[in-house]
């Protein structure tokens, strides 16, 4: 069957269409994206204003049309941290439902971490052993660890690249003092969670998902996306450490000129790099592998599991 997963995230609204059935690998058929930067539409009180909600409704309408055009039989719509953390989330969700017919499921941070972990587990398989999975989104950071398909530990922290950039790094390039302050904040936040994972023992395999990690791996020398998802892509902590200081001294325009860095995400890359470096350092990770699958694929896989055998 043809499934569509509609992800209303902090940076984009993304419709991923796949051909899938239980027991088979979901095959991507179409991708429809709209840049929204929902996290930046929050007002001083932490609410999404009427204009922001209008934009959400507009892009959801566009995604629905794309889903219809591509023959989607079932749509799996969800929202993540930007909607979850909005003070008026209930009002926004009701307006979206009333004006589009779409009932967005708001995932908790723990659910995001578990579903992303499921996707990584299925991608790498049982031979990967105990997995440590790290995902940096626009609004939050998810970390999960385990040997089964359900992680033994999973946390979500408000350390998304978009959120941190808007709050901590107003300059272009950011002021050195602001970068140092953000570095201290990120490491303190992650440091509080390390004990919860270290008691479970060392991982056999460390993987990372998300656009931030893909871009960092690319500028550090990983294969281009055009070479396909099955080419192994690695990010070494030593390489990342060197790039953090270089990225901090660049303007957004200069970062956007780097290989694999999109113009829309270039402004968030310093904050994302600081989070990635802190996570790898505090968890003692020298190298990690980039996983092509993440939250959207996890949502699809969970739905297929609930359908049972074909």
Local confidence pLDDT in tens for the 310 residues of the chain: 999 999 999 889 999 999 999 888 999 999 999 988 887 777 878 899 888 899 999 999 999 999 999 999 999 999 999 899 999 999 999 999 999 999 999 999 999 999 999 999 999 999 999 999 999 999 999 999 999 999 999 999 999 999 999 899 999 999 999 999 999 999 999 999 999 999 999 999 999 999 999 999 999 999 999 999 999 999 999 999 999 999 999 999 999 999 999 998 999 999 999 999 999 999 999 999 999 999 999 999 999 998 866 5
Token pair recorded at residue 91: 């009002």
Q: How many CB atoms lie within 10 A of CB 39?
A: 29
**How many DSSP H helices and E strands does the chain contain?**
11, 11
* Spatial contact of 193 and 153, defined as CB atoms under 8 Å apart: no
The set of residues, in sequence order, having a beta carbon less than 8 Å from that of 25 and lying 6+ positions away, is none
Helix (H) or strand (E) holding 207: strand 205-209
Q: How many residues does the chain have?
A: 310
Q: Is the pTM of this model over 0.85?
A: yes
Instruction: Kindly report, residue by residue over 159-176, the tens digit of the pLDDT.
Output: 999 999 989 999 999 999
C-alpha–C-alpha distance, residues 140 and 157, integer Å:
5
Cα dist from 60 to 68, 105, 140, 293, whole Å: 12, 14, 22, 23
The set of residues, in sequence order, having a beta carbon less than 8 Å from that of 305 and lying 6+ positions away, is 22
Q: Measured at the alpha carbon of residue 8, what is the angle toward residues 261 and 28, in degrees to the nearest 5?
A: 70
Token pair recorded at residue 227: 């070479």
First to last CA, the chain: 10
50 backbone dihedrals φ, ψ, rounded to 5° = -55, -40
* Spatial contact of 151 and 142, defined as CB atoms under 8 Å apart: no
Instruction: Kindly report, residue by residue over 216-269, the tens digit of the pLDDT.
Output: 999 999 999 999 999 999 999 999 999 999 999 999 999 999 999 999 899 999
* Spatial contact of 295 and 115, defined as CB atoms under 8 Å apart: yes
H-only helix segments in the chain: 50-69, 81-84, 89-100, 109-124, 161-168, 176-198, 211-219, 237-248, 252-256, 269-282, 295-307
The set of residues, in sequence order, having a beta carbon less than 8 Å from that of 219 and lying 6+ positions away, is 243, 258, 259, 260, 261
Q: How many CB atoms lie within 10 A of CB 226?
A: 6
* Spatial contact of 53 and 42, defined as CB atoms under 8 Å apart: no
Q: Identify the sign of the CA torsion 252, 253, 258, 261.
A: positive
Domains and CATH numbers, the chain: 2-106 (3.30.420.40), 109-295 (3.30.420.150)
């Amino acid at each position: 069957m043809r499934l569509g997963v509609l992800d209303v995230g902090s940076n984009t609204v993304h419709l991923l269409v796949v051909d899938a059935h239980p027991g088979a690998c979901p095959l991507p058929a179409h991708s429809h994206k709209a840049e929204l930067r929902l996290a930046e539409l929050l007002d001083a009180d932490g609410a999404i204003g009427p204009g922001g909600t209008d934009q959400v409704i507009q892009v959801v309408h566009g995604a629905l049309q794309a889903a219809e055009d591509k023959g989607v039989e079932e749509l799996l719509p969800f929202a993540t941290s930007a909607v979850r953390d909005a003070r008026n989330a209930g009002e926004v969700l009701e307006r979206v439902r009333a004006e589009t017919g779409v009932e967005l499921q708001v995932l908790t941070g723990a659910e995001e971490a578990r579903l992303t972990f499921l996707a990584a587990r299925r991608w790498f398989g049982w031979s990967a052993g105990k997995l440590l999975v790290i995902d940096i989104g626009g609004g939050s950071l998810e970390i999960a660890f385990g040997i089964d398909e359900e992680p033994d530990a999973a946390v979500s922290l408000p350390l998304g690249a978009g959120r941190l950039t808007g709050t901590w790094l107003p300059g272009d390039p950011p002021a050195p003092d602001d970068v140092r302050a953000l570095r201290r904040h990120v490491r303190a936040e992650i440091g509080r969670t390390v004990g919860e994972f270290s008691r479970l023992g060392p991982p056999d395999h460390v993987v990372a998902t998300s656009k931030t990690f893909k871009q960092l791996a690319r500028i550090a020398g990983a294969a281009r996306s055009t070479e396909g998802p099955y080419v192994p892509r690695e990010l070494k902590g030593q390489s990342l450490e060197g790039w953090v200081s270089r990225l901090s001294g660049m303007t957004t325009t200069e970062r956007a000129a780097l290989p694999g860095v999109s113009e829309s995400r270039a402004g968030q890359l310093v904050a994302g790099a600081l989070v990635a470096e802190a996570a790898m350092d505090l968890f003692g990770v020298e190298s990690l592998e980039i996983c092509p699958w993440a939250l959207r694929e996890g949502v699809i896989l969970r739905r297929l599991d609930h359908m049972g055998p074909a």
